[in-house]
Structure 1
Amino acid sequence: MEASTPNEEPVQIIYDFKCTSCGIDEKTHYKGTNPPFSRNIVLKYPSYVMKDPFSPPGKGEILVLGSDCTICGQTVCINKECSLFYKKNYCLDCAKNLIETFPVEIKNKLVQIKKK
C-alpha cells in the first residue's frame, strides 16, 4: 500500500446535485452537516455543499445548494420556489400537503407561493 505524500491532495468524492423542482444541476463536494473544508461550520440538516468557487483557496468558504426533502427524499435546492425550511427541509409539494401542521406564518408563506 502506498503512503500519500504531504503535497498530495486527498481524493475528493463529487456528488451530483440536481433539484427535482427547478432542474439546477451542479457538482458538489460534500453531503452532510459538517463540511471538512469549512471553518467551524455545522449545518442544521444534511445538505449538498460545494467549495465557494469565488473565494480564495483555503479560506473555507462554502455554498449550500440544497438538501433532500425530509418526507419524500427528493433533492431540492434552497430556492424559495423549490423548498421550505421549518425545523426540517421540505420540498414544496410535501410542505403544501402538510400545510395544516405548520404555524400561521409558515401557512401564509405557502399560500403566497401557491399564488405565483
Structure 2
Amino acid sequence: MTEEEVLEPKVFQCSLCPFYAAYDRYDSQYIDDSNLPTTQSSRNKKDPSLTINLLEKVYLLRDPFVAIKEKDKEDQSKLSSVILGGLCSVCSCPVCVHSDCSVFYTRRFCLRCVAKYQAEFPREILDEIGGKRLEKFTHEAECEQYDDDV
C-alpha cells in the first residue's frame, strides 16, 4: 500500500468536552445486522437486519463489542453501531450524546445553545437537564454578551 492509499481516519470531536473518537459513518440510518439466531429453525432463515431511520444525522462507530463474521467483512456498515454524537441544530457545532453536552428535543441542541435560548425551551426539558449543568454555559453566554458590547 502506498502512502497515497493510506486513508486518514475520520475523527469526531465534541466541541464541549474532551471526548473524541474515530467514526465510520455520518448518517441518519441506524443499521443493526448483528441479530444472533436464538433457535435452530431461525438459524436456517435469513433474518433481516434492523434499520431505524433517525430524526437527525449522527456520527456512527461500528460497535467494537460485536465480532465481525467472515461474510460481513465486506460490508461493515451493516453491523451494529454506536451513536457518538451529532451537530447542534442551532450553531452546527459537533456535540457528543453525553447529557453534559447535548440534549435531543425534536432536534439535537448543545447545552451552550440551550443556556443561551432557555426561554425557548419547555420548563420540563430545562428541569430534566438541570440548572447546575446549564450554569456554566449561562455564565459563558453572559461573558459573550459583554464582549459584544466592548
TM exceeding 0.5: yes
The equivalent residue for 2:29 is 34
Gaps of 5+ in 2: 1-6, 34-49, 73-77, 137-150
CA RMSD of aligned residues (A): 2.4
More relative contact order, 1 or 2 (CA 8 Å, 6+ apart): 2
The equivalent residue for 1:9 is none
Matched, 1:105 2:124: yes
Give me the whole-angstrom Cα distance separating, in 1, the residues matched to 2:113 and 2:30: 27
SS at 1:40's partner residue? strand
The equivalent residue for 1:53 is 64
Give me the whole-angstrom Cα distance separating, in 1, the residues matched to 2:32 and 2:17: 28
Give me the whole-angstrom Cα distance separating, in 2, the residues matched to 1:41 and 1:13: 28
Task: Report the identity percentage.
Answer: 27
Q: Which amino acid aligns with 1:76?
A: V
State which structure, 1 or 2, has the greater radius of gyration over its C-alpha atoms. 2
Q: Which amino acid aligns with 1:87?
A: T
CA contact under 8 A between 1:100 and 1:107: conserved in structure 2?
no
Give me the whole-angstrom Cα distance separating, in 2, the residues matched to 1:88 and 1:50: 20
Q: Which amino acid aligns with 2:97?
A: I
CA contact under 8 A between 1:17 and 1:25: conserved in structure 2?
yes
Residues 6-58 of structure 1: CA deviation (Å, up to 9, x unaligned): xxxxxx99531000111211110000202567531222200000110101224
- List structure 1 segments (4+ residues) > 6 angstroms apart after TM superposition: none
Gaps of 5+ in 1: 1-11
